[in-house]
Amino acid sequence: MEALQVFLVGHAAWAYVISRPLASVLRVKINPYLVMLLGMIPDVDILLQEYIKHRSVTHSVLLWGIAFIPLFIMYRRRSIPYFVAVIQHIIFGDVVVASTNILWPLRFQVGMGNSLLSPLNIAMEFIGMGMALLLILRYDKAMVAMNSRNILGMVVMLPLIGSMLYLFTTDGLLFLDHILGIGGISSKSIIRGVYDAIDILAIVLHISFAALLSASVLQGLRALLVRMH
């Protein structure tokens, strides 16, 4: 198995951080929840490892470019922020903190090879979350307002929670051991709490971002209840 490069929360946050200003420049509207979901979508191959290798098909800029051609034709510049949301996962997150064959099936392996729990990676996660929060308050205040559309926050929240739960299943622990093996750390040491606080910070990141999205979803549910009455 290959290593997971950036926690899903980082991919989701940076997808929004990069795509939101781009949408403003292009003068197009975006769905922030869809942008965040697309930022995580290449890692769906983690659930399909019996059929495809991690960081292969779903991490190919070449294949994503081909897949988006119909969208480019139909929606033109409106599709660009969504395409960038996917691609940043590969050429920003995965390349900065790991190594990825970004032109699969061709051979073009690039990356810095840092560990998942490296200070650089954790810093990127925190910076991405902080910037995402500021941009939400600047451009998408509706995400924290009583709006029925905010129920869509569940499409981002559930994968974030699921990804953390997965790491503590039997298969997930084996996957985690491989990831942490880059830095000589084991999943047992994390569970027992004998490793430093960096792993705890990673969990806190997911919980914090999920909490923000939970507030958004609750606002959406409130709006629906008000509408029903």
User: Among all chains, which residue has been given the structure tokens 């090879």?
Assistant: 113
- Compute the distance between CA of residue 211 and CA of residue 164 in angstroms, rounded to an integer: 14
Residue type, 169: T
pLDDT score recorded for residue 77: 95
Contact residues for 6 (Cβ-Cβ < 8 A; gap 6+): 14, 89, 93, 94, 96, 97, 116, 121, 124, 125
Burial of 40 from C-beta contacts in 10 A (0-12 / 13-18 / 19+): buried
Q: With bands split at pLDDT 50, 70 and 90, how would you rate the model's confidence at 62?
A: very high
| pLDDT the model gives residue 2 | 39
pLDDT above 80 for 44: yes
Measured on CA atoms in the order 137, 16, 156, 98, is the torsion positive or negative?
negative
**Mean pLDDT taken over the chain:** 78
pLDDT surpasses 70 at 188 = no
Per-residue pLDDT at 151: 84
| Residue with the larger pLDDT of the pair 193 and 206 | 206
The pLDDT value recorded for residue 43 is 86
Q: What is the pLDDT, as a whole number, of residue 195?
A: 45
Task: Determine contact, residues 216/149, Cβ cutoff 8 Å.
Answer: no
Over residues 119-162, the pLDDT tens digits come to: 777 788 888 888 998 998 888 988 888 888 888 888 887 787 77
- SS3 for 100-122, per residue? EECCCCCCCEEECCCCCCCHHHH
Residue 173 near residue 93 (C-beta atoms within 8 A):
no
52 close to 23: Cβ distance less than 8 angstroms: no
Query: Distance between CA 3 and CA 191 in Å, rounded?
Result: 19
Report the amino acid identity of residue 187: S
Residue 169 pLDDT class (50, 70, 90 cuts):
low
Global pTM?
Answer: 0.80
- The answer to whether the CB of 160 falls within 8 A of the CB of 8 is yes
Instruction: Give 180's pLDDT tier (boundaries 50, 70, 90).
Output: very low
Region 46-63 average pLDDT: 83
**pLDDT bucket at 115, cuts 50 / 70 / 90:** low
